[in-house]
Structure 1
């Protein structure tokens, strides 16, 4: 049975955030993000990250669940402090950028306000 190590909800969708989905990425930032950044982000109520994000865990966005295939060097720190990470849906096993988490699975077409964000560990 999976343990929920992180949980929050999407509260706001920036004007340009859905466009990033068409580029295969999704940017999360906690509430209170600077407005110029928030325009490109899915803004969420930031919860407590109970353990580091690691390869092999699962990332849930709404009803979609993804396998985590790589985690950038500063992704955990950025997520804890700012609620900020970039998710890429390409299944890469080496992080492209330090703040990126790579996921395996079909990218969602859209996310809605109220959708849950969870990280699950076995």
Structure 2
């Protein structure tokens, strides 16, 4: 298996966990503007190897989720900003250009220090 992207959650914004109730998780790299940080899971910005695509897998806190759709600018946003909006709804088409959809149960919580990884 090839790792496309790997990072560690280093800070959790005050309102970031609320998005989990909407089957959503928003990430941004360290150094994000303060008003954005409140709504994001902040992480160390990692290197990308290859392209994220339908059929890849996301691993989050030791749970695997198949990737079902990738928006047209999601990989660029991840590369440049460490920003991605994950939807745990298994949709076959991206709702927005920056969304990545995965299939599986939305985590109730994501502990600080969790590893987020995309693998092929």
Deviations, residues 29-70 of structure 1 (Å, cap 9, x unaligned): 000010100100000001001011100000011121100000
Say how many residue pairs are matched: 120
Partner of 1:85: 84
Cα contact 1:75–1:100 (8 A) shared by 2: yes
Partner of 1:40: 39
**Runs of 4+ displaced beyond 6 Å:** none
Partner of 1:116: 115
Structure 1 gaps, min length 5: none
The CA distance in 2 between the partners of 1:106 and 1:12, in whole Å, is 23
Normalising by structure 1, what TM-score?
Answer: 0.96
The CA distance in 2 between the partners of 1:17 and 1:114, in whole Å, is 15
The CA distance in 2 between the partners of 1:74 and 1:92, in whole Å, is 17
The CA distance in 1 between the partners of 2:19 and 2:97, in whole Å, is 18
Structure 2 gaps, min length 5: none
Partner of 1:22: 21
Normalising by structure 2, what TM-score?
Answer: 0.98
Alpha-carbon shift at residue 120 of structure 1 (Å)? 0.6
The CA distance in 1 between the partners of 2:29 and 2:98, in whole Å, is 15
The CA distance in 1 between the partners of 2:73 and 2:2, in whole Å, is 23
RMSD: 0.6
